[in-house]
A and B are shown apart, each in its own frame.
Chain A
Amino acid sequence: DARVTQTPRDKVTEMGQEVTMRCQPILGHNTVFWYRQTMMQGLELLAYFRNRAPLDDSGMPKDRFSAEMPDATLATLKIQPSEPRDSAVYFCASGPGQPQETQYFGPGTRLLVL
């Protein structure tokens, strides 16, 4: 049963530290999404890639967040420096590449910035 994997599952860090979250999309999927879930804002799209190229990162704070796909099997989301307001659950999702196809979500990374 193919699944999206994310590491770490939980991360506690102090304000100002760098945080890196990793995602392995489902093999064969060429579209990767990063979402953030908070109580106040719900689920928000931060950025997404198709064939490793960034298509939209308008939902991402540019000054401290960066998203990359070093290769087809790895997507990363970095926060530097982290702030308490970044505390949230970060989800990665992948899709087979056609527009409006189903997005399959990973288990999420729960981030707490103290």
Chain B
Amino acid sequence: AQKVTQAQTEISVVEKEDVTLDCVYETRDTTYYLFWYKQPPSGELVFLIRRNSFDEQNEISGRYSWNFQKSTSSFNFTITASQVVDSAVYFCALSGSYNTDKLIFGTGTRLQVFP
């Protein structure tokens, strides 16, 4: 069975702190994709990144970076120098080769960044 675990329910930081959101996944598929989405207080789901299982290179996009480690089945997300606008719920999701179109979402991590 496929599963995504986001053990951190809520994280609070002060602006300019770095913060890492954890994501651990389970799948028997050899080919799969991992995603991160952001859900700000306005409610929409915003796509952040998609990564396939064969590409373990870390990715950096501005203040955002992602660390994919197949050995530990983790796909962690780090925000550097956090800002109040980063306050949102962040979801990690998995799409496996068996049910290729289905996204299995984690329960989300609520990040609050205080000024």
Tell me the A residues contacting B by CB distance below 8 Å. 31, 33, 42-43, 45, 48, 50, 55-56, 89, 91, 93, 95, 99-108, 110
Contact = CB atoms under 8 A, between A and B. Distances in A.
Nearest to B102: A45
Nearest to A104: B47
Of listed A45, A48, A91, A103, residue having the most chain B CB within 10 A: A103
Contacts of B55: none
Contact of B43 (A48, A95, A110): A110
Contact of A43 (B91, B99, B100): B91
Interface residues of B, number: 24
Contacts of A43: 91, 103, 105
Interface of B: 32-33, 35, 37, 42-47, 50, 52, 91, 95, 97, 99-103, 105-108
Nearest to A108: B43
B43 A99 contact: no
Contacts of B42: 107
B49 to A, nearest CB: 9
Contacts of A56: 99, 101-102
A97 to B, nearest CB: 10
15 contacts: A42-B108, A45-B103, A56-B102, A99-B97, A99-B101, A100-B101, A102-B35, A102-B47, A103-B103, A104-B47, A105-B45, A105-B46, A107-B42, A108-B45, A110-B43
Nearest to A103: B103
Nearest to A44: B105
Nearest to B43: A108
Contacts of A99: 97, 100-101
Given A91-B45, A107-B43, A102 B101 contact: no
Given A102-B35, A105-B46, 5 more contacts: A31-B101, A55-B101, A95-B101, A99-B97, A100-B33
Contacts of A91: 45
A100 B93 CA distance: 11
A39 to B, nearest CB: 10
A24 to B, nearest CB: 15
